[in-house]
Amino acid sequence: MTRSKHPPVNYDLFDGRDPAPAKGLPLLDNLYQMYDIYNREYFGDRLPRVKISYSRRMLAAGGWFPQEREIKISEKYHALFPDEVYDTLKHEMLHIIHPRHDRPFQRAARRVGASLRATEHPALRRPPNYIYICPSCRAEYPRRKRLRMASCGKCSKGLYDERFKLVLRKSLKKRQSA
């Protein structure tokens, strides 16, 4: 019988569970329990069973991803605001019924005691890649993505107007070396 040079594989590492969240955040089991409680209390058990996970990448407090039927909770955000985890869960549960932050969403948020907006923090803001300027009023519009057809919201009264088309003033995006 030949002996392997490698230690035996620990298959417990591959049980399909997500890794533990950042220190101080509730375990996923706790989030699922709160989902069930909120579903019963505020939604009459009408919400479907969904996946709940932590995201180490996202900067927003959380998100509802209907294609995956998944609520993601941001570790980075909640490392700064740990007391808001369950509020974020409630907020994202509302998005299952109300995709946009429209009036019905706002009424439902007040009813269940969920916040409408996440707390702002400079560590959660990505710097802009581009700065656009209005040719008329000179207002600046920092943006993460390039704009194709956009006009100044102040000068064009909310509708696209070629006369007030935003002009790229500065690209802050790092050039990729060839």
Same-domain check for residues 63 and 132: no
pLDDT at residue 157 above 50?
Answer: yes
| Per-residue pLDDT at 104 exceeds 80 | yes
Residue 52 within a domain: yes
- Tell me, yes or no, whether 8 lies in a domain: no
Amino acid at 32: Y
145 and 118 share one domain: no
Q: How far apart are CA 164 and CA 86, in angstroms?
A: 43
Are both 155 and 85 inside the same structural domain? no
Same domain, yes or no: 24 and 82? yes
Show the DSSP H helices in the chain as ranges.
28-43, 75-80, 85-97, 103-112
Per-residue pLDDT reduced to its tens digit, 53-91: 999 888 889 999 999 999 999 999 998 899 999 999 999
**Any idea which residue has 């050039």 for tokens?**
175
Report if residue 58 sits inside a domain: yes
Domain check: are 106 and 24 in the same one? yes
Mean pLDDT of the chain: 85
Q: Mean pLDDT, to the nearest integer, of 91-106?
A: 95
Same domain, residue pair 161 and 118 = no
List beta partners, residue 171: 130
Range of the domain at 165: 126-171
CATH number for position 83: 3.30.2010.10
Number of domains in the chain: 2
Asked which of 98, 122, 146 is the last residue of a domain, the reply is: 122
Write down the pLDDT at residue 120.
75
Is 176 domain-assigned? no
pLDDT higher than threshold 50 for residue 14: no
Higher pLDDT, 127 or 50: 50
What Å distances lie between residue 100 and 64, 97, 109, 119, 140, CA to CA?
11, 9, 12, 18, 27
**pLDDT interval class at 18 (50, 70, 90):** low
Q: Output the pLDDT for position 169.
A: 87
The tally of CA atoms less than 13 A away on the side-chain side of residue 52 is 25
pLDDT confidence of 45, banded at 50, 70, 90? very high
pLDDT given for residue 93 in this prediction? 97
Is residue 48 assigned to a domain? yes
Cα–Cα nearest to 73, from 81, 85, 65 = 85
Q: 133 pairs with which residues across the strands?
A: 140, 167
Are residues 117 and 141 located together in one domain of the fold?
no
- Above 70 in pLDDT, residue 8? no
Share of the chain above pLDDT 90, in %: 58
The pLDDT-based confidence of 177 (bands split at 50, 70, 90) is very low
Within a domain: residue 6?
no
d(CA 135, CA 73): 40
On whether both 71 and 96 belong to a single domain, the answer is yes
Residues 23 and 106 in one domain: yes
34 and 71 belong to one structural domain: yes
Burial of 113 from C-beta contacts in 10 A (0-12 / 13-18 / 19+): exposed
Q: Which amino acid is at 104?
A: P
